[in-house]
Chain A
Amino acid sequence: MVFLQVEMSWNVLISPTQLSPKGLLLRKAIIVRLLEDIANRKASKDHGYYIAVNELKAISEGKVRELTGDVLFPVTFTCITQKPMKGEILVGSVDKILKHGVFLKSGPIESIFLSEKTMNDYKYIGGENPMFMNAHSKLEKDTAVRFKVMGFRWMEADRQFQLLATLAGDYLGPL
């Protein structure tokens, strides 16, 4: 999984009760709020998943919002992100086995569907511990799998991506 380190700008809103004459406390409040904002945003269509704020570059001069008294601080920072790519080869692990395919997860991506149709000679075997098997290998819960991303789409309602995976190709399959 290829991660990105991107420079971003963001406006952080600080309530007047948190404004402190001690510069460090204000700085801490801004950082805490930035981390919360990033965690709540989770992901976006353009940037992909927001994983962590890496380095705070600058906090610019705050602007007071007249109605509420909140202060808006423009902040620049680098962020570690992850955005799915069509054609990329990823490694993930099996989350759920269904008759018509397998759900995988990989890093921040929770919903990756591998259709039984793209799994060539793998056969579904039901039971308490369902699996897909071929002559030399099997996929069951938690198996690590190398797959190729066939396509993806952004789901605005859940703020996440859905991926479609395939095992058709050389050197793909359970590891």
Chain B
Amino acid sequence: MSGEEEENAAELKIGEEFLKAKCLMNCEVAIILEHKYEQIQHMSDGDPASQVSQVFEKSLQYVKRFSRYKNPDAVRQVRETLSRYGLAEFELCTLGNLCPDTSGEAFALVPSLHSGGRFQGDAGNDKIDKMLNDLSLIKKFE
């Protein structure tokens, strides 16, 4: 298993394409793919299941199962909320997808949060807790 040795998501050493491109969370991809599926249904006026690729089909099933937020307004709010905390796109999406319950869990799942002095000491923990609390409020009122 060689992979790309120099890349590592834990340290946010990620490929250039991740930095240039826009990253998307499961819930955002779910909205896009469901919309595409409807479009294909109209275009082929038949059974869309035969028109989409396996990769599309599997991804759609996956994001439907593992999206925490379903409502498009809530999905937009999640991105807005997370983008107030100076996160990299990749970190933002990982947090939005995995929905950690505590700051300890957030740091364990996204170790790169430790870098850059963004979330240091107790103040840093409080900031993360506030962010997670904001997210759970969005979920509650979805």
Query: Given the complex, which residues of A lie within 8 Å of B135, measured CB to CB?
Result: none
Task: Tell me the bound Cα distance from A170 to B98 in angstroms.
Answer: 14
The majority secondary structure among interface residues of chain B is helix
Task: Tell me the bound Cα distance from A42 to B9 in angstroms.
Answer: 24
Q: Are A110 and B58 in contact, CB atoms less than 8 angstroms apart?
A: yes
A-side interface residues toward B, CB under 8 Å?
A: 1-7, 38-39, 42-43, 46-47, 49-52, 54, 80-83, 85-89, 91, 93, 105-108, 110, 144, 146, 149-153, 164, 169-171
| Chain B, range 88-107, C-beta contacts under 8 Å to A | 90, 93-94, 97-98, 100, 104-105
Most buried by B among A47, A91, A107, A149: A107
A117 to chain B, nearest CB (A): 14
The majority secondary structure among interface residues of chain A is strand
* B15 at the binding interface (Cβ < 8 Å): yes
Query: Given the complex, which residues of A lie within 8 Å of B58, measured CB to CB?
Result: 105, 107-108, 110
Task: Tell me the bound Cα distance from A152 to B65 in angstroms.
Answer: 24
Interface size on B, residues (CB 8 A): 46
Q: Are B108 and A169 in contact, CB atoms less than 8 angstroms apart?
A: yes
Of B17-25, B75-83, B115-123, B124-132, the one touching chain A: B17-25
